[in-house]
A and B are shown apart, each in its own frame.
Chain A
Amino acid sequence: MTQSHRTTEPEHRKPTTATAMRLIVPLQGVVQGRGGLILGSLIPCALFYFLQFYLKRHRSPNPPSPSTSSSNLAGLPRTSSRSTLSSRGSLGPVRISARGISIAKPDDSPYYIGLNKFRDDPYDKINNPNGIIQLGLAENTSCLDLIEKWVSENLSDSIMGRDGDDLSISGITTYQPFDGMMELKVAMAGFMSQVLGQAVSFDPSQIVLTAGATPAVEILCFCLADHGNALLVPSPYYPGFDRDIRFRTGVELIPVHCRSTDNFAFSITALDQAFNQARKRGVKVRGILICNPANPVGNIIPRETLYELLDFAREKNIHVISDEIYGGSIFGNEEFVSVAEILEAEEVDKDRVHIIYGLSKDLSLPGFRTGVIYSYNESVLAAAKKLTRFCSISAPTQRLLISMLSDTKFIQEYLETNKRRIKKLYDSFVAGLKQLGIRCSESSAGLYCWADMSGLIPSYSEKGELELWDKLLNIAKINVTPGSACHCIEPGWFRCCFTSLTHEDIPLVIERIQKVAETCK
């Protein structure tokens, strides 16, 4: 595969095969370089054969042979089990599923380890001043006061209805359409339009509402790809995708590595390469998943690149999923162009483009679980609608949001204030890091910055990066997300979320980083 320093081992691969591959692949490369094709194939094959032989002899004791087991189960015909635990399963009680086992395992990604550690020891200015400061969760609390004020003035009315209103309790307790109330779709279409400064008008009938963007992404994957198919994802990418997409759909994510020299922008050439490599492996690529504005880098995809992307997708006959969840969190001067804008303007193949949105970032309401699938493809919409029965938005919350999103004056004020406050925090935080000699990539959106701490890592490798991450988490007591968790190919980059910090917190964070930075020099 790539010459990456990282060898991220997929969870489902059996240990023996993986170990074998780690020996064979480099060996093959070495031998092929000098021994020619025949020797280059023969020698590794021979070695592989002997390796298997060795491993077989040293494997743990085999389960009982078939003859003894069938005598125990005399009356019962054997079933042909498809479970990977078949030999033990026929004697012992049924286990939980293979996917259940894999998902139940403790999290080993630093992204989740950090979040868990924070939960056990969260910083509190008064009650726990030495606790861990959270910079690992893209959460925006800078404008919650505005929403809180709106809620305190409007909540009760929105749920219970005013006198003479049609809103009554039976309107929120009874079964609602699983893909969301029409009034909320209308309000959401209007909100999404406002977020884009009215550059696009969204059609409520093309909206499917879900309990958060997490199920929205999963549903789209279930609809667009089969088990074993793949999606290309420009990396570094949001660590949550590994779970959201891989957990249950069986769809593979193929990272398309971007580099700091391009400010982590992806190129069509790289996409094309990745597509072809996948095809050679016999893996069918069904689509490209982009995050625009990007997470964790925070850059915006230029208009021309979006055109090129759509051309590429048409040429390969694949889908484009554009996760635009940070569309309202733009603080820079760069123009943000939603893929919807291009589709509205041009006569392009719309059936292959799908947008993900949600209120967790732009409206700071992750707890209320509101996600959106916006698609131009009728069949996808029909299938997605049916799947929302597993993830509908709670009715009282829908009512609240209908009210809030329809208050366009409030929304306008909120969106503008939000951008200003994020920018202020960004400027302050990035300046603080600069003082420590840590520069950030250029970004104009998102709730985080992408910081280059490669100067502080003991070795230019994933190992070195994780050592620094560990120090930052356990000594400096700040939780940041290391680039390796985001599948970044260059070691030393860290995502630092700053929008749940106050201006007073920032110097404290910088100070803590400084202490660790000093020990690294």
Chain B
Amino acid sequence: MLSRIASCDSHGQDSSYFLGWEAYENNPYDQLHNPSGIIQMGLAENQLSFDLLESWLASNQEAVELKRNGESLFRELALFQDYHGFPDAKKELVKLMARIRGNKVKFDLNKLVLTAGSTAANETLMFCLADPGDAFLLPTPYYPGFDRDLKWRPGIEIVPIHCSSSNGFRITISALENAYQQAQTLNLKVKGVLITNPSNPLGTAMTHQELNHLINFSKSKRIHIVSDEIYSGTVFDSPSSSFISIMEAVMDRNIGESDDLWSRIHIVYSLSKDFSMPGFRVGMIYSNNERVVSAATKMSSFGLVSSQTQYLLSRMLSDKKFTCNYMKENRKRLRKRKEMLVSGLKVAGIRCLKSNAGLFCWVDMRHLLVSNTFEAEKELWKKIIFEVGLNISPGSSCHCNEPGWFRICFANITEETLQVALQRIKVFAQSCNPQMLLLQRRSIIGKWISKLSSSSSYDQEPGR
């Protein structure tokens, strides 16, 4: 009785990523009422700066009450359903996007399409750029939600660009070419590459070199580049120099409007991570391609942002002082919290990939595996959920091709809860079979030494 889409399982809803969530929901940690429950460290949500938002809302009653200079805008907003979006909201959003990129790039509000969250933005872009059966290349590891957002209704195939820990999971030319060949073998037409920059789950901003590889590749294959820059505002390590937007990279190569590639560059953004407002459902597509903007605008009627929210945003973001202060303070808090996680894990003998952005760390637990297999990773993950009591995301759910890596989120819990979690990990790590660990360490030490002597991809002491 139901359609294929409704009955299919390929949307990834049953992947371990979501199963962990279920386990958490059945037994959630609470400091008072359930201190032995499972701590949620699988949700990339930023709860560190609510107080700043709260105080803004409390001191800006007018915006909350949908008024402007004493006059009520309610009537206008109640009726406003124009899919071109509330002009003031778009104006402020493009200014914000520019500011996050150190004002090195300017954005045109006519190229911006608002959607109900970046989930809708990514899906809409797929509808616009690819037909059912076409493929997009994604560097691994990637956000598990893409399996659902890109493949489900648009019917796109994802072909992974395998990245490895040997070079800190950076994208290489050969990885790109291999992925393209793989798509050919599968008889799939490649329409583009989708990158998340800064990366989820790695927490790293892409380097100049990576972006150049990507640009060269896309030029030669004549395909689209979709850059999901949803974490661009979370770069807590001298952002103006360490985060390079695809737009900036393209400009640096003097690729302008007359160049073919220009109209194949698209950015996805949202306020869910940078501004801690996932509940508001505010996402956007920014595209240099007129037809994409036109099609996406019409499709946005399937997920418009409430006019009430658009107005509230336009007021909040136009308060430049608040916005700048928020971004700065938010980054500071994220950095501090990340360092707490990294040093706490270090005490437990666990290392993280060196990261400068995001709400999570990419953690190396390969030495805790009984064997270098995904089965062992799953066993370890189950132990961590049910015995240690932490919901973290296993690398396999992110399509990582090396077992033993996990994503651990740090921004959605309080400091106290994080301490509890770190304590649990420490105890767990110590309790792991010392003999086994010793054997594994001996073989891994050799690898560590060679890695350390090349570029250090591991996070050192906090404070650097």
Q: Which residues of A contact B134 (CB under 8 A)?
A: 82-83, 97
Would you call A152 and B72 a contact (CB within 8 A)?
A: yes
- Over the window 46-64 of chain B, the binary record of Cβ atoms lying under 8 Å from chain A Cβ atoms (1 yes, 0 no) is 0100100110011001001
* Given known contacts A100-B128, A141-B79, A391 and B120 CB-to-CB distance under 8 angstroms: yes
With A248-B153, A394-B305 as given contacts, are A367 and B77 in contact (CB-CB < 8 Å)?
yes
> A81 to nearest B CB, angstroms?
5
Evaluate contact between B281 and A395: CB separation under 8 angstroms: yes
- Contact check, B81 vs A386: say whether CB atoms are below 8 A apart: no
Q: Are A173 and B129 in contact, with the CB atoms below 8 A?
A: no
CB within 8 A of B133: which of A82, A229, A243, A366?
A: A82
Mask, A217-236, CB within 8 Å of B = 1, is 01000111111010000000
Whether the pair B280, A396 counts as a contact (CB closer than 8 A) is yes
- Digit string of B168-200 for contact with A (CB within 8 Å is 1, else 0)? 000000000000000110011111100000000
Chain B residues near A141 (CB, 8 Å)?
75, 79
Contact A390 B116 (CB under 8 A): yes
B81 touches A366 (CB 8 A): yes
Contact A175 B308 (CB under 8 A): no
Cβ of B307 under 8 Å from chain A: yes
Q: CB of A31 within 8 A of chain B? A: no
Please pick, from B3, B79, B148, B306, the residue contacting A397 in the complex, using a CB distance under 8 A: B306
Please determine whether B123 and A367 come into contact, CB atoms closer than 8 angstroms: no
- Inter-chain CA distance A380–B123, complex, in Å, is 21
Residues of A within 8 A of B1 (CB): 224, 317, 319, 351-352, 377, 379
Of A100, A226, A389, A392, chain B has the most CB atoms within 10 Å of the CB of A100
A175 touches B291 (CB 8 A): no
B77, B134, B148, B304: which has the most chain A beta carbons within 10 Å? B304
Q: With A99-B131, A103-B298 as given contacts, are A156 and B64 in contact (CB-CB < 8 Å)?
A: yes
**Residues B61 and A156 in contact, CB atoms below 8 Å apart:** yes
Cβ contact within 8 Å between A394 and B64: no
Bound state CA distance, A119 and B80, in angstroms? 12
Partner of B302, one of A119, A218, A317, A377: A218
Q: Which of A248, A319, A364 contacts B127 (CB 8 A)?
A: A248
What's the Cα separation between A449 and B75 when bound, in Å? 24
Chain B residue at smallest Cβ distance from A247: B299
B190 contacts across to A, CB distance below 8 A: 79, 94
Q: Say yes or no: A175-B278 contact (C-beta < 8 A), given A81-B189, A151-B66, A368-B306.
A: yes
Select one of A139, A169, A386 contacting B53, CB under 8 A.
A169
Inter-chain contact A396/B291, CB cutoff 8 Å: no
Cβ contact of B3, chosen from A168, A226, A247, A368, cutoff 8 A: A226
Say if the beta carbon of B130 comes within 8 Å of chain A. Answer: yes
Residues of A within 8 A of B187 (CB): 79-80
Contacts of B43 in A (CB 8 A): 175
- Interface positions, chain A 379-410, Cβ under 8 Å from B, are 379-380, 383, 386-387, 389-397, 400
Q: Which of B57, B153, B290, B308 contacts A222 (CB 8 A)?
A: B153
Task: Decide if B11 touches A82 in the complex (CB within 8 Å).
Answer: no
Query: In the complex the two chains form, what is the Cα distance from A424 to B462 in whole Å?
Result: 72
Of the residues B188, B223, B261, B291, contact of A100 by C-beta under 8 Å: B291
**A396→B65 contact, CB < 8 A:** no
A160 and B57 in contact (CB under 8 A), knowing A369-B304, A397-B309? Answer: yes
Chain A residue numbers with a CB within 8 Å of B306 are: 211, 367-369, 393-394, 396-397
Q: A94-B192, A96-B292 are in contact. Are A169 and B54 (CB under 8 A)?
A: yes
A173-B278, A393-B306 known; A386+B11 contact, CB < 8 A:
yes
Contacting residues, chain A, for B50 (C-beta < 8 A)? 169-170, 173
User: Chain A residues near B61 (CB, 8 Å)?
Assistant: 156
- Bound Cα distance A319, B1 (Å): 8
A175 touches B74 (CB 8 A): no
In angstroms, Cα B276 to Cα A94, docked, is: 36
Residue of chain B at shortest CB distance from A105: B294
Convert B133-157 into 0s and 1s, putting 1 for each residue whose CB lies closer than 8 angstroms to a CB of A: 1100000000000001100010000
Contact size range, B: 35 or more
Chain B nearest CB from A196 CB (Å) reads 24
How far is B279's CA from A176's CA once the two chains are assembled, in angstroms?
A: 6
Tell whether, in the assembled complex, residue A215 and residue B3 are in contact, meaning their CB atoms are under 8 Å apart: no
Q: Which of A168, A173, A176, A352 has the most CB of B within 10 A?
A: A173
B72, B132, B280: the one contacting A395 at CB < 8 Å is: B280
Query: Is B153 a contact of A83 with CB atoms below 8 Å?
Result: no
Q: Is B274 close to A, CB under 8 A? A: no
Q: Measured between C-beta atoms, what is the minimum distance from A479 to chain B in Å?
A: 15
- Chain B residues with Cβ under 8 A from A364's Cβ? 78-79
**B131 proximity list for chain A (CB < 8 A):** 82-83, 97-99
* Closest chain A CB from B50 CB (angstroms): 5
A395 vs B50: C-alpha distance in the bound complex, in angstroms?
A: 15
Q: Counting CB contacts under 8 A, is A101 at the interface?
A: yes
Assess whether A1 is interfacial by the CB under 8 Å rule: no
Q: Are B6 and A224 in contact (CB under 8 A)?
A: yes
Number of interface residues of A (CB under 8 A): 83
**Least CB distance, A17 to chain B, in whole angstroms:** 20
Q: Which residues of B contact A215 (CB under 8 A)?
A: 302-303
Minimum CB distance partner of A393 in chain B: B306
A93 and chain B: residue at smallest CB distance: B222
* A26 interface residue (CB < 8 Å to B): no
- Contact (Cβ within 8 A) B78 A248: no
CB atoms of B153 and A225 under 8 A apart: no
From A81, A100, A227, A392, give the contact of B295 (CB < 8 A). Answer: A100
Who on chain B is nearest to A225 by CB? B3
* B444 within 8 Å of A (CB atoms): no
Considering the complex, give the chain B residue whose CB is closest to the CB of A240.
B301
Given contacts A92-B222, A144-B75, contact A155 B116 (CB under 8 A): no
CB atoms of A96 and B295 under 8 A apart = yes
Q: What's the minimum C-beta distance from B56 to chain A, rounded to whole angstroms?
A: 9
Asked whether any CB of chain A lies closer than 8 Å to the CB of B4, the reply is yes
B264 to chain A: closest residue by CB: A93
- A77–B183 Cα distance when bound, in Å, is 11
Whole-angstrom distance between the Cβ of A420 and the nearest chain B Cβ: 20
Q: Which residue of B lies closest to A145 (CB)?
A: B75
B439 at the interface (CB under 8 A from A): no
Judged by a CB distance under 8 angstroms, whether B260 is at the interface is: yes
28 contacts between A and B (CB under 8 A): A80-B189, A93-B264, A96-B292, A99-B295, A103-B298, A104-B295, A144-B75, A155-B66, A160-B57, A170-B47, A172-B279, A172-B280, A175-B45, A223-B5, A223-B6, A224-B2, A229-B3, A366-B80, A367-B80, A367-B306, A368-B306, A369-B116, A369-B304, A391-B302, A394-B279, A394-B309, A396-B309, A397-B309
**Contact residues of B with A, CB < 8 Å?**
1-7, 11, 13, 43, 45, 47, 50, 53-54, 57-58, 61, 64-66, 72, 74-75, 77-82, 116-117, 119-120, 123, 127-134, 148-149, 153, 183-184, 187-192, 222-224, 260-261, 264, 276-282, 289-292, 294-295, 298-299, 301-309, 312
Query: Interface of A with B (CB < 8 Å)?
Result: 76-77, 79-83, 89, 92-94, 96-101, 103-104, 119, 139, 141, 144, 147-148, 151-152, 155-156, 159-160, 168-170, 172-176, 211-212, 214-215, 218, 222-227, 229, 243-244, 247-248, 286, 317, 319, 351-352, 360, 364-369, 377, 379-380, 383, 386-387, 389-397, 400
In the complex, the 9 A-B pairs of residues with the closest C-beta atoms, listed nearest first? A395-B279, A367-B307, A93-B222, A383-B6, A394-B306, A100-B128, A391-B303, A104-B295, A223-B6
Given A94-B191, A223-B6, A390-B153, 17 more pairs with CB closer than 8 A: A80-B189, A94-B192, A97-B131, A104-B290, A159-B57, A169-B57, A211-B281, A218-B302, A223-B5, A227-B132, A351-B1, A364-B79, A379-B2, A392-B117, A394-B116, A396-B279, A396-B280
